[in-house]
């Protein structure tokens, strides 16, 4: 994968983060998911790479009518430690997947 300079995800972790979703079968090339969104012009300087997704799930998260699947970055503090997790979930159920991204960014990622 040809990654941009701002990709801090280790090469050994380059796989679709949606692999844990019920019924998901990865297809297509990997793409970078940003938070907050880069926008149509791609000029949001606050935007950071938070995940790798195959292009069909990336498209469904960003563009599907009614957006049945959503994604976010959760920041969880416990015992003085801070963990960051990329999460894909459904509003109407407990289905979803969560991947820790704590070690991939030292900057706070906004949701």
19 phi, psi to nearest 5 deg: -55, -25
Return the domain boundaries, the chain: 11-104
Give the CA count within 13 Å in the CB-facing half-sphere of 55: 2
Q: What is the pLDDT of residues 49-107, one digit of tens each?
A: 889 999 988 988 888 777 778 888 888 888 888 888 888 888 777 778 787 776 654 44
Query: Are residues 98 and 87 in contact, defined by beta-carbon separation less than 8 angstroms?
Result: yes
The pLDDT assigned to 106 comes to 44
99 phi, psi to nearest 5 deg: -130, 130
Token readout for 14 is: 């380059």
Q: What is the pTM of this model?
A: 0.77
Residue 17 burial (10 A CB sphere; 0-12, 13-18, 19+): buried
């Amino acid at each position: 994968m040809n990654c941009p300079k701002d990709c801090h995800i280790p090469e050994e972790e380059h796989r679709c983060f949606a692999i844990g979703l019920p019924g998901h079968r990865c297809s297509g090339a990997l793409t970078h998911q940003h938070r907050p969104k880069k926008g149509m012009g791609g000029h949001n300087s606050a935007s950071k790479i938070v995940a790798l997704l195959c292009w069909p799930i990336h498209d469904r998260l960003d563009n599907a009518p009614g957006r049945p699947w959503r994604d976010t970055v959760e920041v969880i503090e416990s015992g003085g430690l801070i963990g960051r997790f990329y999460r894909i979930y459904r509003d109407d159920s407990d289905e979803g997947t969560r991947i820790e991204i704590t070690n991939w960014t030292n900057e706070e990622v906004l949701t």
